[in-house]
Amino acid sequence: MIKLRLKRFGKKRETSFRIVACNSTSRRDGRPLEELGFYNPRTNETRLDTEGLRRRLDQGAQPSDTVRGLLEKGGMITKTIRAAETVGKAKQAAAREAELKAAAKAAAEAKAAELAAAEAAKAEAAAAEAAESETSAEAAPEEA
C-alpha cells in the first residue's frame, strides 16, 4: 500500500519535512517513491505538488493524519469528520450538560438553604420580640 507521509530532514532542532509517497512498510526517512511537497512547521510554509498528489490519491494512496491535515488546509481534499471525533464531541457535550445540571442543582440547594436560614432568622427575631414584650409587660405592673 502506498502512503503519503512526512520525511524529516534539516538540522537538529530545526527540522523541515518533505511530503513523500512511499511503501507503507518502508522506514520514515527511507527512499521514497516520489517527493510531492514540502512542509516547514517553524514558518508554517507548505508547498504542494498538486498534480502529483492528485495522481497518487487517485491511485489509492492513503495520507497520514498530519498529511491529511495539510492537504485539507491546501484545499486538495475535503475535510472529513471521523467517527471517533463525533463520539468524542458527543461525550464532551454530555459531560458539559451534566456539569451544568449539577451546578444548577447546587445553586438551587444553596438558595433554598439561604431562604431557610432567612426564615429561621425571622422566626428567631419574632421570638425575641415576643419574649421582650412579655418581659416588658411583666415588668410594667411591678413598677406601678
pLDDT tens-place string over residues 110-127: 999 999 888 888 888 888
Q: Do 47 and 98 have their domain in common?
A: no
**What is the domain count for the chain?**
2
Residue 4 neighbours by CB distance under 10 Å: 24
Give the tens place of pLDDT for each residue, 62-90.
998 889 988 888 888 887 776 777 778 88
Q: Do 41 and 89 have their domain in common?
A: no
Q: Do 33 and 88 have their domain in common?
A: no
Say what the pTM is.
0.54
Give the tens place of pLDDT for each residue, 4-18.
999 998 888 889 999
Q: Do 16 and 34 have their domain in common?
A: yes
- Residue 116 belongs to some domain of the structure: yes
- Residue 122 belongs to some domain of the structure: yes
Q: Do 121 and 70 have their domain in common?
A: no
What residue spans of the chain are helical by DSSP H?
50-58, 65-74, 83-143
Domain that holds residue 109: 84-129
Q: Do 103 and 41 have their domain in common?
A: no
C-alpha distances in angstroms, 61 versus 21, 57, 68, 114?
A: 8, 5, 11, 65
- Residue 135 belongs to some domain of the structure: no
C-alpha distances in angstroms, 97 versus 84, 87, 127, 128?
A: 20, 15, 45, 46
